[in-house]
Amino acid sequence: MISNFQQIISVLRWKWYVFLDKTGRWSIILFSVPLILTVCLTSILLPKIDQTQNAIYDLQQQMRSPLPLEVDDEHVLATELSVTEYQQIKVMFDLFEKYHLHVESGNYRFQAEDDQHAQALILAVPLRGKWLNLVQALQDISRALPIELDRIQISRPSPETDMLSITLQLTLHRGQ
């Protein structure tokens, strides 16, 4: 009595010989060479691709936050962005991008501390975009960040377009 496993093996062997007889040995060999090479290359290259992608991801994560200042000079620290300020400004620009507002450039300056105001960072941001997108972006920015809108200047390059030229002046109070 032949076991069930042996019956399956003999059926598979019979089907293999029928397939081999119909297609021919050289056809199977020529087809299997590229298949074997593909499997070998994939098994060799896949771990390297994963390592490279992980390394790229790690570099992107490191580049997202600026290096901390290593200077003890208070004047330099008073005129440089802190990590928190940098991240807040990045969030603001990401929100502008989310609402399809094109940031043309941007500059900042530090406002000196006086009796009435603490030291602050004044941002001037020229934008191009639509009115509704600007309103939505400013609402999200005011909810997410401790930024005050000091001045807004809006102009339309031509009457036919709904794209606006916008200049924002924002204040980010330091230490918040």
- Write out the DSSP string of 14-55: HHHHHHHHHH-HHHHHHHHHHHHHHHHHHHHHHHHHHHHHHH
Main-chain dihedrals φ then ψ at residue 72, nearest 5 degrees: -95, 0
What pLDDT score does 72 carry? 47
Tens-place pLDDT, residues 46-72: 888 888 888 888 877 776 665 444 444
Residue 163 lies in a domain: yes
Are residues 156 and 122 both part of a single domain? yes
pLDDT digits (tens, 9 = 90+) for 165-174: 999 998 887 6
Domain shared by 84 and 44, yes or no? no
Partners of 127 in the β-ladder: 103, 166
Look up the domain containing 166 and give its range: 74-173
Q: What is the pTM of this model?
A: 0.51
44: in domain: yes
Clarify whether residues 57 and 102 are in a common domain.
no
164 and 134 part of one domain = yes
Q: Which residues pair with 125 in a beta bridge?
A: 168
Residue 105 near residue 166, CB atoms below 8 Å: no
List Cβ neighbours of 173 (8 Å cut-off, separation of 6 or more). 118, 119, 120, 121, 146, 148
In a domain, 94, yes or no: yes
Tokens, residue 162: 């709904």
CA distance 124 to 122: 7
